[in-house]
Every structure is written in C-alpha cells, then in structure tokens.
Amino acid sequence: MKRVLSALAALALLFACSPENNTSAADEPGNGKDNTVHVTGISIDRTSATIKEGETISLVATVTPANAENKAVTWSSSSDAVATVDNTGKVTGVKAGSATITATTEDGGKKATCSLSVEANNAPSVTVEADHISAISVVLHGKANLGTSAASDLKIGFQYSESAGILPSNSTTVEAEDADANYNYTTAITGLEPETKYYFRSFVRQNGQDTYGETKEFTTKDVASLLETNEASDIEATSANLNAKLDLTDVKYTNKSYGFYFGTSETAQNTKINGGEIEDNAYSASRTGLSHKTQYWYKAFVTLDSQTFYGEVKTFTTEQFVFGAVDLGLPSGLKWANANLGASAPEDYGDYYAWGETEPKENYIWSTYKWGNGSYDTLTKYNTNGSYGTFDNKTVLDLEDDVAHVKLGGSWRMPTKAEWAELLENCTWTWTTQNGVNGRLVTASNGNSIFLPAAGYRDGTNFSDVGSRGYYWSSSLLTDYPYFAWYVDFFSGNVGRRYDGSRYDGFSLRPVSE
C-alpha cells in the first residue's frame, strides 16, 4: 500500500511541474507551420429542388469552418440545356429534364450538389424577362405554350403599366409582331419615362379568352445615361465648340434629331443648332460669329420620336478679341489687320470714319468735317490747290490724323493708295459670305487670308450699300481734286481703286503694320 501511495505522489509531482501551455515550439508563428484556416467542407441549403421552365430559384452554399479564410465558391450545371446557374447560385429552368447543380470551393475543391428537376411549363403564357433597358425603351421577352396548334384568333404580346396590379384598364397592351416556331417572342417598347418603375406581363389571347403570365418589373435609366451637356471647347473671341454626350445604346426609336439650344441668357436659349455626326457616343457643333468677351448659355437636346430631352444648362465666356497683323507674304513685307478698325470680329463692320478724322460720328457732311470750313472749297488742311482753301501741299495723312495709328499706336496706320494696289495685285479677292456677312476674302499665295466685310458707307445720317458693297479709305489724297481721297471699293461683280470719295464720307478702315 505504501508503494502505491508513493507512485501516486510521484505522478502528482510530475503534473505539478509540467508547463501550463502545452503548445509546442513548432506551433509558434514564424517557425514554418501553416496557420491558414482552410475549408473543410461545403453544403447547399437544398439537396433537391423542382422548378418549372422559365422559373428561377437561388441556392445558398455554406462553407465550413465559418472562419475559413477563402470562402470563394464556383457554381456549375451538369446540363445548361436543362438549367443554368450564375455565379451567385441563381438557377433558371430552361427545359424539362434533370440536372445536377454543383458548388465547388476554391480552397480544397470541396463539393456539394443539388439534384434539380425541371418540369414543363404548360401555362399558355409565360413572362420571360426584360432587357436592353434604356431611359425610354425596353425589350420584353415572352413565350406562348400552344401545343401543336394555334387558334385562328391568336394574339400574343404584353401589357405594361406603372401600377403593380396590372389590369387591362390601367395598362398599355402591345401585340408581338412575330414569334419563332416555339412561340418565343420579343417586343420593343418605346416612349417610356426615365427613372420610372414599370410592371409587365405576357398575354395569350385565343378562342376569345385571355391568359396572362407572371407579372415582372424593370426600371428605366435616368436621362443622364442618354444625354449630357458637356463643357464647351476651343473657345476663342468669336467662336466656340459646343459638346454633348448622346448614348443611344439599347435605345429603341424610329426618328431622332439632336443638337443644342443657345442664347445670351441663362433662362433663354432660343437659337436651335443642329449637332454634328455622332462619334463615340458624342457630338458637337461649332458656333461662330460670337461677340468677344461675352457670356453665352447652352444646353444639349435630343428628340426621339415624340419625346424631347434636355441636358444641363452650361455657360462659357468668349475670349477678348485680339487685333492681330496677318502676314500675306507681300513684296513690301507689309502686314494687314485681321479686322476693321472698331470691330470685335473679322466679320464685324467696325466704325466709319471721315478721311483724316479720328472719331466716328452721327452726321457725315461738309459742315461737320474737321478739315473743311463748311464746304469742299474751304479746306483747312491737306490741300494741294489754293483754289480749295488753305494750301499746305500735304498728300498723305500725318500720323496724328491717321485714325489707325491714333487708336492702335505702334506701327499701325492706314494703308496708302500704293499699298492697296499691292494687295489687289498679289492676292485673290473672292466674293463670299462668312458667318452670314457678305464681303471679299482676300487670299495670299502663302495661304493666309483676311476678310473685308461689305460694310457700305455713311453719308449724312444714312447708311448705304450695307451688305452689298465695301468702301475702304487709303491715307492718300487725290492731288488734282484735294476734296477727294483715294479709296478701294468692291461688290459682288468688281473690285477697284477709286478717287471720288468726298473726304467727309464715312468709310471703313483696315489698318496695316510694318
């Protein structure tokens, strides 16, 4: 007995001396052992199921243990002809028959199955699905189970409504135009409202009776998925490009038109502009003839059949017009301005000036002329004949009386008679219309050009020949008759140098620069 007690005491002492943590060193992190929690099994919430053709069920897979690090599962069907399954476990019956749906873990390849039986759907009308959903249209799919024969009064199609409880009285009925040999059919529905939930069901009408398929639903997309006004681009002093996105993917329609509405206030875009060709779901339109340093507003639009949609209103401000010198490659090296003096664009008429005066005015007659004492024969400056007033023999304007130099400074001035002649002889003058304005496009051999608008002229308080003829002063006096000065005029049929312009007349000015 003493020996037994001694043995038990030794054993108790052995346990008392053992460490409380029995984890071996090999189990410690960093010592080479895999600490990943792996999948040990998988199950499906149903081991068997029965559905009809066209019906769906969702299977749920559970991976064990619950804390497994990789719970990824792939789904497969033993016969896609009988039933299909997507990557979420949603199963769709295709035709009558049997199939096995399998869920397989990515970690370890563990499998679970569900035996599926698909029964024939003998309902006369089957609502299948909606697809190609856009902001205003959809394609509906249906099926009619008619057996081997169809009644002579057969009609198939859909009813759709914004009401969940579809009735013939609160819905729109659309007949299908055709069906395949198995009476599968589709119908495109147009004219829907954006961001709206619709309910639909298929119908079969034969032998005077209507039968309906299951009610399903879809929601149309928002207008932004169809049309957006984008920021303007290539903004210059007198022009800009308007841009928009127009995505007609999945949109069903018969006729379309699109473009922009444009204006000079946020609340009134009254000018309609057609859009250019649609490329990469976008279109644009060029807007010219704008005023410099001016704010404009615009919005995109599209009309599809009887529906018109608008994009957001956007704005831009044109650049300050730059009065630049154009190199026409002339022998003298002289450069010509890109616009008339006082203009804010190449097509603007600009201001009208009497010869030798530096400000425009309201009444162009001898009595208001700066260098005449009320008449042509009482000139006070620029006179080569004493019979016409104070004789000074000046034949070209002094820079202090040259309005181009006074207004622009630097080397800017009015062209002489000889310099107009150089422009006439070395360039092609084409009568044309630019941004709605008639005039002459003067094109040099180097490809550069300037546009001279047919601004007409002013005599007294009147405007004459506006839009049909241009009159442009030179800085050169007509020495034989000093109450005249040289100028160039043109119209659609002719261009010429003239000298019979009374100095008080209000003509256009095109500056030149060295």
Task: List the beta strands (DSSP E) in 275-408.
Answer: 282-287, 295-304, 307-310, 314-317, 325-327, 335-337
The residues that bridge with 387 in the sheet, in sequence order, are none
pLDDT digits (tens, 9 = 90+) for 147-160: 666 777 889 999 99
* Residue 391: predicted pLDDT: 97
* Residue 149: predicted pLDDT: 66
| Residue 498 tokens, joined | 């003239």
Average pLDDT over residues 112-132: 90
Grade residue 13 by pLDDT with cuts at 50, 70 and 90: very low
Instruction: Using the predicted structure, report yes or no on whether residue 126 has a pLDDT greater than 80.
Output: yes
> Residue 5: enclosing H or E segment and its boundaries?
helix 2-17
182 Cα distance to chain centroid = 44
Q: Which long-range contacts (CB under 8 A, 24 or more apart) does 64-70 make?
A: 64/39, 64/40, 65/37, 65/39, 65/40, 67/37, 68/37, 68/38, 68/39, 68/40, 68/107, 69/36, 69/37, 69/38, 69/107, 70/38, 70/39, 70/105, 70/106, 70/107
The answer to whether 117 and 133 are in contact (CB under 8 A) is: no
Environment class of residue 36 by beta-carbon count within 10 Å: exposed (0-12), middle (13-18) or buried (19+)?
exposed
Grade residue 66 by pLDDT with cuts at 50, 70 and 90: very high
The answer to whether 105 and 42 are in contact (CB under 8 A) is: yes
The answer to whether 215 and 99 are in contact (CB under 8 A) is: no
pLDDT digits (tens, 9 = 90+) for 286-314: 998 788 889 999 999 999 999 999 999 99
Average pLDDT over residues 464-476: 97
How many angstroms separate the CA atoms of 198 and 211, rounded? Answer: 20
* Residue 383: predicted pLDDT: 98
User: Residue 280: CB partners within 8 Å, gap ≥ 6?
Assistant: none
Grade residue 499 by pLDDT with cuts at 50, 70 and 90: confident
pLDDT digits (tens, 9 = 90+) for 76-100: 999 999 999 999 999 999 888 999 9
Instruction: Using the predicted structure, report yes or no on whether residue 18 has a pLDDT greater than 80.
Output: no
Instruction: Using the predicted structure, report yes or no on whether residue 217 has a pLDDT greater than 50.
Output: yes
Buried b / exposed e over 284-312, threshold 16 CB at 10 Å, is bbebeebebeeebbbbbbbebeebebebe
Quote the pTM value.
Answer: 0.55
How many angstroms separate the CA atoms of 246 and 229, rounded? Answer: 9
Average pLDDT over residues 484-499: 92
Grade residue 199 by pLDDT with cuts at 50, 70 and 90: very high
Average pLDDT over residues 175-202: 92
* Residue 26: predicted pLDDT: 42
60: phi then psi, degrees, rounded to nearest 5: -120, 125
How many angstroms separate the CA atoms of 467 and 456, rounded? Answer: 7
Instruction: Using the predicted structure, report yes or no on whether residue 408 has a pLDDT greater than 50.
Output: yes
Q: What DSSP assignment string belongs to 411-464? A: T-BPPPHHHHHHHHHHSEEEEEEETTEEEEEEE-TTS-EEEEE--BEEEBTEEE
Instruction: Using the predicted structure, report yes or no on whether residue 225 has a pLDDT greater than 90.
Output: yes
* Residue 31: predicted pLDDT: 53
* Residue 24: predicted pLDDT: 42
Instruction: Using the predicted structure, report yes or no on whether residue 145 has a pLDDT greater than 70.
Output: yes
* Residue 3: predicted pLDDT: 44
